[in-house]
Amino acid sequence: MDNLQFKKLLKKAIMYALLLMVTFIFIVPSIWIVGSSFNQGTNIFSTTLIPKNPTLFHYKELLFNTDYPLWFGNTLKIATLNMLLSLVLTISTAMAFSRFKFKGKKITMMTILILQMFPSMLAMMALYVILNRFGLLNTHLGLVIVYATGQIPFNTWLVKGYLDAIPKSLDEAARIDGASNITIVTKVVLPLAKPILVFVALQNFIGPWFDFVLPQVILRSQDKWTLALGLFRWVADRAQNNFTMFAAGAVLVTIPITILWAIFQKHIVEGLAAGASKG
């Protein structure tokens, strides 16, 4: 083996070692959480990776004797409304910046670009005061409005980059045939932008599903809680001694997201690739 072959072999060995290490770091905690959810008892330290006597007790208890179904319904409602509202706002703003010329367009785009660099944590106090003034504190509508409007800057830049790559000659051809602006958007542009729109919709659906900070600030009463907030409060109120049921709740949370990723995997990959090359 010459020196060149040895270097190639060494690079491959290092690359596979890193991949195995990253895989181990991500997969083992997930397997451990799934295994914990089927263990008997409540203490996290007594659980094993592979349960000795697996049981569905924690899942039954969670679904029939806690507010978990209510929190699941709240989260599903907020995630769905946020996804729909974000899509409408994103399509409107991205189409305006991509297809129309107006005064102040460049400055507005730069302002949006700068705004998305500020972390949402900076606006927490302001959001709290504004929602309180409008009577939207402790409401799902208030939370949806914060989510949807906060995602406009990033989504607008992402979708605008994709729309810019769709030839404007298609719009002009449709307009010559008598199509209105709404017809051009719905019948010509949006079908061609399906991959990036599916990606944006899924991202906006997943965001509220796992978010803890904003619900913690905005939602007060227990009947309004989301899954992340409800599970945390539920475990914390029991002196943190019911982690096996918390593990069961965490496993159930991932099921809808896993199904969506499996169904829309093709569009997500296309959307990510498009966002990377055109955004």
DSSP code per residue over the chain: --HHHHHHHHHHHHHHHHHHHHHHHHHHHHHHHHHHHTSSSS-GGG--SS-SS---HHHHHHHHSSSHHHHHHHHHHHHHHHHHHHHHHHHHHHHHHHH---TTHHHHHHHHHHHTTS-GGGGHHHHHHHHHHTT-TT-HHHHHHHHHHHTHHHHHHHHHHHHHTS-HHHHHHHHHTT--HHHIIIIIIHHHTHHHHHHHHHHHHHHHHH--HHHHHH--SGGG--HHHHHHHHHHHTTT--HHHHHHHHHHHHHHHHHHHHHTHHHHHHHHHHHHHH-
Q: Is the pLDDT of residue 193 over 80?
A: yes
pLDDT classification of 143: cutoffs 50, 70, 90: very high
What pLDDT score was predicted for residue 140?
93
pLDDT classification of 190: cutoffs 50, 70, 90: confident
Q: Is the pLDDT of residue 263 over 90?
A: no
How high does pLDDT run on average in the chain? 84
The model's pTM? 0.81
Tokens linked to 173: 């051809």
Q: Is the pLDDT of residue 40 over 70?
A: yes
Q: Which residue has the higher pLDDT, 39 or 275?
A: 39
Q: Is the pLDDT of residue 50 over 90?
A: no
